């Protein structure tokens, strides 16, 4: 069904100039979440060249209609700020046709990106059956999944949608990113308003694939070789730039342990900076130019390994500061995962099944960095004093350290 829906959008776009029909871009749909106030949500789509489109919002808070022009076959409308809630209907119409989105909510929209640990589905995690049984109890957490597609050039719209905006069920959440879903569910529990989740990830991909040519050039990374083409930036991130978002979470780095490892302390913060600039410009200034960006520290996965790839990338994930936020990576937050290995994971130890603790730690970071809540212990303890003897290393921390075995490991 998802593929058919996307194809319909593409076909409508290809004939809009001749039959007068209007359509929304591929990633708008029934049940979606649009960014709430104080930001303003951006809508866009396709229509006959030179005509006018009337955009109307109806629901708990009606707004004056917007009239916009179709230029180069596309129209853009920036709604007035809307408080969290819903449902709404969003209608785009001209003299000949009408396109309507139903059951639209307003809340915070988070983009979830990275490689296989971000793509890791909810049905694979510890206590998956219990988690999936809860899915329908969170109808205001709405998932959307970008299909895995690559392009050699920057695209204005998605090639394909894997999962259109949906009301959560055990079936669709089971195939959705566990980290993304759990983060959204925990934030919904805390904030008490809708959360939109946009999954755009692909297993086994290095950061170079998700970075624009601008970002790569800033780190001296020439676009040559099979893994440095910006192919996923072009097809899975660039089309989303017009969307107003609250922030992003990221789980990636494994593929850079043996590919441009020494450049990651530049390429990762450069990608974050570039995404922020691009989303800000693409949304007409509605997405903040310093939107909050959270990420997951790589876990351990080979017991007793002497390989330095994973430790080096962990260090480089923080731009070699060892912690975030820092001077190079402001408004970022990290979920520590070094202590969450899964030696017996049936999906390979590089894919730990404990995504609950990961998402919980991301939630703490988001509370502090994205929502400016105080007294949230999201960074963990920092060492104040380190002394050593021939047999012992004594570390004194700035806060109490508690070691409690996670229930998910039992």
Which domains, ranges and CATH numbers included, belong to the chain? Answer: 2-104 (2.60.40.10), 105-381 (3.40.50.1110)
Beta bridge partners of 348: none
DSSP class of residue 83? -
Query: By the 8 A CB rule, do 363 and 190 touch?
Result: yes
DSSP class of residue 177? B
Task: State how far the Cα of 58 lies from the Cα of 89, in Å rounded to an integer.
Answer: 5
Query: By the 8 A CB rule, do 357 and 406 touch?
Result: yes
Query: By the 8 A CB rule, do 333 and 317 touch?
Result: no
Write b or e for each residue in 183-203: b if 16 or more Cβ atoms lie within 10 A of its Cβ, otherwise e: bbbbbbeeeebbbbbbbbbbb
Q: Is 53 helix (H, G, I), strand (E, B) or coil?
A: strand
Q: Is 5 helix (H, G, I), strand (E, B) or coil?
A: helix
Write b or e for each residue in 237-248: b if 16 or more Cβ atoms lie within 10 A of its Cβ, otherwise e: bbbbbbbbbbbb
pLDDT at position 222: 75
Beta bridge partners of 116: none
Residue 387: its H or E element: strand 383-388
Task: State how far the Cα of 392 lies from the Cα of 163, in Å rounded to an integer.
Answer: 53
Quickly tell me which residue has 């190079």 as its tokens.
328
pLDDT at position 88: 98
For residue 339 the two structure tokens come to 């202590």
The backbone torsions φ and ψ at residue 315, rounded to the nearest 5 degrees and listed phi first, read -65, -45
Going by C-alpha positions, the residue among 260, 251, 155 that lies closest to residue 215 is 260
Query: By the 8 A CB rule, do 286 and 39 touch?
Result: yes
Q: What is the pTM of this model?
A: 0.91
Per-residue pLDDT of the chain (410 residues; tens, 9 = 90+): 333 333 333 333 333 333 568 999 999 999 999 999 999 999 999 999 999 999 999 999 888 999 999 999 999 999 999 999 999 999 999 999 999 999 999 999 999 999 999 999 999 999 999 999 999 999 999 999 999 999 999 999 999 999 999 999 999 999 999 999 999 999 999 999 999 999 999 999 999 999 999 999 999 997 865 455 899 999 999 999 999 999 999 999 999 999 999 999 999 999 999 999 999 999 999 999 999 999 999 999 888 888 899 999 999 999 999 999 999 999 999 999 999 999 999 999 999 999 999 999 999 999 999 999 999 989 878 888 999 998 999 989 887 766 544 444 33
Query: By the 8 A CB rule, do 328 and 315 touch?
Result: no
How many CB atoms neighbour CB 209 within 10 A?
Answer: 24
Query: By the 8 A CB rule, do 286 and 40 touch?
Result: yes
Task: State how far the Cα of 120 lies from the Cα of 131, in Å rounded to an integer.
Answer: 14
Task: State how far the Cα of 392 lies from the Cα of 405, in Å rounded to an integer.
Answer: 23
Task: State how far the Cα of 100 lies from the Cα of 32, in Å rounded to an integer.
Answer: 12
pLDDT at position 15: 32
Task: State how far the Cα of 148 lies from the Cα of 161, in Å rounded to an integer.
Answer: 9
């Amino acid at each position: 069904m998802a593929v058919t829906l996307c194809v319909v959008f593409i076909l409508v776009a290809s004939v809009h100039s001749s039959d007068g029909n209007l359509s929304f871009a591929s990633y708008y749909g029934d049940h979606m979440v649009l960014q709430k106030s104080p930001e303003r949500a951006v809508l866009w789509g396709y229509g006959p060249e030179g005509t006018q489109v009337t955009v109307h919002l109806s629901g708990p808070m009606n707004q004056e209609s917007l009239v916009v022009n179709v230029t180069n076959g596309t129209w853009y409308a920036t709604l007035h700020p809307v408080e969290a809630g819903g449902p709404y209907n969003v209608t785009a119409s001209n003299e000949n046709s009408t396109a309507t989105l139903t059951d639209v909510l307003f809340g915070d929209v988070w983009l979830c990106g990275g490689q296989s640990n971000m793509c890791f589905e909810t049905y694979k995690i510890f206590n998956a059956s219990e988690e999936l049984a809860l899915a329908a109890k969170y109808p205001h957490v709405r998932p959307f999944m970008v299909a895995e597609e690559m392009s050699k050039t920057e695209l204005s719209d998605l090639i394909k949608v894997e999962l259109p905006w949906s009301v959560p069920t055990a079936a669709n959440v089971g195939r959705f990113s566990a980290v993304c879903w759990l983060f959204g569910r925990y934030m919904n529990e805390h904030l008490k308003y809708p959360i939109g989740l946009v999954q755009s990830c692909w297993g086994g991909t290095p950061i170079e694939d998700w970075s624009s040519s601008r970002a790569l050039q800033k780190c001296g990374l020439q676009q040559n070789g099979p893994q440095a083409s910006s192919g996923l930036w072009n097809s899975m991130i660039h089309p989303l730039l017009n969307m107003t978002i609250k922030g992003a979470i990221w789980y990636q780095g494994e593929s850079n342990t043996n590919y441009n490892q020494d450049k990651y302390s530049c390429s990762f913060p450069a990608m974050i900076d570039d995404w922020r600039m691009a989303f800000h410009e693409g949304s007409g200034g509605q997405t903040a130019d310093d939107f909050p960006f959270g990420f997951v520290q790589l876990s351990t996965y080979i017991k007793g390994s002497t390989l330095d790839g994973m430790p080096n990338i962990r260090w480089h994930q923080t731009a070699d500061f060892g912690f975030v936020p820092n001077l190079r990576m402001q408004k970022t937050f990290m979920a520590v995962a070094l202590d969450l290995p899964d030696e017996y994971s049936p999906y390979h130890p590089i894919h730990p099944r404990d995504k609950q603790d990961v998402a919980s730690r991301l939630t703490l970071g988001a509370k502090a960095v994205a929502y400016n809540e105080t007294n949230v212990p999201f960074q963990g303890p920092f060492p104040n004093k380190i002394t050593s003897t021939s047999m012992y290393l004594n570390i004194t921390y700035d806060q109490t350290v508690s070691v409690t075995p996670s229930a998910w490991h039992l």
